[in-house]
């Protein structure tokens, strides 16, 4: 059976959602967001000490982008991938990788707002800059969903795919750092994809939430 | 797509788009370059955003189509040209390793980007966070150590030889030594020398030009920093 190594509300939630969409049997090992991930045992699974890691058919995989692509290829019947040569292949690759671009801003913001506990350690300008760059990513999604002829229901013209899962999970976290007001198509798409049972089944228990606040506004200069 | 597609690379020198510049050279494709300057903001114009909606480089025009995200462009080019020789297709024995290296390069590049912001883009040093620099320098060292271990005695990232996973390291291995000395990573240093000796890499580097992004050879972690930092590494 597949085994996902998971930290709630981290990148591994993307793989959890994907596995829930696929529907093949798997089990989850959950970790707290702390030094456990640096233990020698975990490092044999994921050399940089990061989640997700996935055990699948005797292989051990790390990196959420790689795992997502591999699962789509391994379970083509789920319809979440677009194989090489298919009409939406270029867009599928683009938006799957774009999820990682969004997530890098989220990682920087999470580091500033949640990991650094002392206010003096934080950099207000970095929180402002990263929130602005996140806003540009949200605007890019809005633009993608608002086409001149007919708005798209999903990121790909050919319908729901792993792109919606990957970018959708990034937007789920992004809401903690940037409002979705002003992005009507994005908001409608987000409501559409998060109504899916597979997303609902991927939500953390309230006590396992990494983000204990609903919103973390950019920091103001204190000096 | 035509047999000889018209290809245009939207490029910012010494950035992630070098990965694509180098890969185009490895594939032997004809292309031209649209040069962009990240500090001038020309990528925020609506005309460019119609091509790359987040206003980033690289973006690649192929005939009448546009693709952005360096990892996506890399995969697409590798599976489309030269009979896929630089890719590893679905269900190939090295597929997992190939996909992992492409993502791993991006994980590493994200850390480098934070160091670029804190050391280079923030002109007023008091705006940077020494703790963030220390944390991200430690993370960069961690990803380099992971790479050193996984490389083993291989010439390239994959046991079967050179691939588009290697070209994804094009930006990383140029930028990383400004923040972490590679002396502690002998296999990585030898690997870097090996890829830099490739004729296609040299042609790409010549087109990219002499770097003016970094104004010194090395950016050390500023000190002293709070002794509680070690607690934050988890």
- What domains can be seen in chain A, in order of their start residue? 2-78 (3.40.30.10), 89-205 (1.20.1050.10)
- Residue B41 falls in which region: left (phi positive, over 0), alpha (psi -120 to 50) or beta: left
Looking at the complex, does the CB of residue A48 fall below 8 Å from at least one CB of chain B? Answer: yes
Chain B residues near residue A35 by CB distance under 8 angstroms: 233-234
Question: Quick check: A116 and B131 CB within 8 A?
Answer: yes
Quickly name the fold that domain B95-197+217-224 has.
Glutathione S-transferase Yfyf (Class Pi); Chain A, domain 2 (1.20.1050)
Residue-range domain boundaries for chain B = 7-84, 95-197+217-224
At A198-215, the pLDDT tens digits run: 999 999 999 889 999 999
| DSSP H or E segment with residue B200 | helix B199-208
Mutate to test the interface with B, among A49, A70, A87, A93 (most CBs of B within 10 A): A93
Residues of chain B below pLDDT 70? 1-3, 224-234
Looking at per-residue pLDDT, the higher value among A105 and A122 belongs to A105
Tokens of B17: 């788009």
Locate tokens 């609506």: which residue?
B46
| DSSP H or E segment with residue A53 | strand A53-56
**Interatomic CA distance for residues B180 and A28, integer angstroms:** 36
**Interatomic CA distance for residues B221 and B132, integer angstroms:** 10
Q: According to the model, what pLDDT value does residue A32 have?
A: 84
Distances (CA, A) of B65 to A89, B14, B27, B59: 12, 25, 19, 10
Looking at the complex, does the CB of residue A219 fall below 8 Å from at least one CB of chain B? Answer: no
Overall size of chain A counted in residues: 223
Residue A219: pLDDT above 60? Answer: yes
User: Would the CATH topology of B7-84 be identical to that of B95-197+217-224?
Assistant: no
Is the bond preceding B224 in cis, omega lying within 30 degrees of 0? yes
Residue A119: pLDDT above 90? Answer: no
Region A9-34 average pLDDT: 93
Q: According to the model, what pLDDT value does residue A148 have?
A: 72
At A139-191, the pLDDT tens digits run: 999 999 998 777 789 999 999 999 999 999 999 999 999 999 999 999 999 99
Question: For B7-84, which CATH superfamily applies?
Answer: Glutaredoxin (3.40.30.10)
Q: According to the model, what pLDDT value does residue A120 have?
A: 81
Q: According to the model, what pLDDT value does residue A196 have?
A: 98
Q: According to the model, what pLDDT value does residue B234 have?
A: 41
**Interatomic CA distance for residues A126 and B194, integer angstroms:** 36
| Residue A207 neighbours by CB under 8 Å, 6+ apart | none
Q: Closest partner residue to A90 among B65, B114, B232, by Cβ? A: B65
Min mean pLDDT across A35-39, A73-77, B194-198 is at A35-39
Looking at the complex, does the CB of residue A132 fall below 8 Å from at least one CB of chain B? Answer: no
| Residue B124 neighbours by CB under 8 Å, 6+ apart | none
Looking at the complex, does the CB of residue A57 fall below 8 Å from at least one CB of chain B? Answer: no
């Amino acid at each position: 059976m597949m085994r996902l190594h998971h930290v709630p509300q981290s990148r591994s939630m993307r793989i959890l959602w994907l596995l829930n969409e696929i529907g093949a049997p798997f089990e989850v090992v959950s970790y707290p967001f702390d030094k456990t991930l640096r233990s020698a045992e975990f490092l044999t699974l994921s050399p940089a000490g990061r989640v997700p890691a996935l055990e699948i058919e005797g292989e051990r995989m790390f990196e959420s982008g790689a795992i997502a692509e591999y699962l789509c290829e391994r379970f083509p019947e789920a319809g979440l991938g677009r194989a090489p040569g298919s009409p939406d292949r270029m867009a599928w690759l683009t938006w799957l990788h774009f999820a990682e671009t969004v997530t890098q801003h989220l990682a920087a913001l999470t580091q500033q707002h949640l990991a650094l506990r002392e206010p003096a350690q934080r950099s207000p300008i970095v929180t402002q800059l990263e929130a602005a760059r996140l806003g540009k990513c949200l605007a890019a999604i809005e633009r993608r969903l608002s086409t001149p002829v007919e708005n798209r229901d999903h990121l790909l013209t050919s319908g729901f795919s792993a792109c919606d899962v990957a970018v959708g999970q990034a937007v789920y976290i992004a809401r903690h750092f940037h409002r979705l007001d002003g992005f009507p198509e994005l908001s409608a798409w987000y409501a559409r994809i998060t109504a899916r049972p597979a997303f609902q089944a991927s939500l953390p228990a309230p006590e396992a939430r990494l983000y204990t606040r609903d919103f973390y506004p950019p920091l103001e200069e204190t000096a | 797509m035509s047999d000889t597609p018209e290809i245009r690379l939207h490029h910012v020198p010494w950035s992630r788009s070098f990965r694509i510049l180098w890969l185009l050279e490895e594939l032997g494709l004809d292309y031209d370059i649209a040069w962009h300057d990240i500090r001038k903001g020309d990528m925020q114009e609506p005309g460019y955003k119609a091509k790359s909606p987040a206003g980033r480089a690289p973006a690649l025009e192929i005939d009448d189509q546009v693709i952005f995200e360096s990892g996506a462009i890399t995969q697409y080019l590798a599976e489309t040209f030269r009979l896929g020789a630089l890719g590893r297709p679905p269900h190939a024995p090295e597929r997992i390793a190939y996909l992992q290296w492409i993502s791993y390069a991006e994980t590493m590049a994200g850390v480098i980007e934070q160091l670029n912001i804190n050391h280079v883009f923030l002109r007023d040093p008091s705006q940077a966070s020494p703790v963030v620099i220390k944390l991200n320098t430690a993370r960069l060292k961690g990803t380099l150590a992971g790479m050193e271990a996984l490389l083993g005695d291989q010439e390239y990232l994959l046991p079967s030889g050179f691939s588009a996973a290697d070209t994804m390291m094009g930006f990383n291995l140029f930028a990383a030594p400004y923040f972490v000395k590679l002396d502690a990573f002998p296999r990585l240093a030898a690997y870097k020398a090996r890829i830099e000796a490739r004729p296609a890499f040299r042609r790409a580097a010549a087109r990219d030009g002499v770097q003016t992004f970094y104004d010194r050879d090395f950016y050390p972690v500023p000190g002293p920093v709070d002794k509680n930092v070690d607690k934050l590494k988890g």
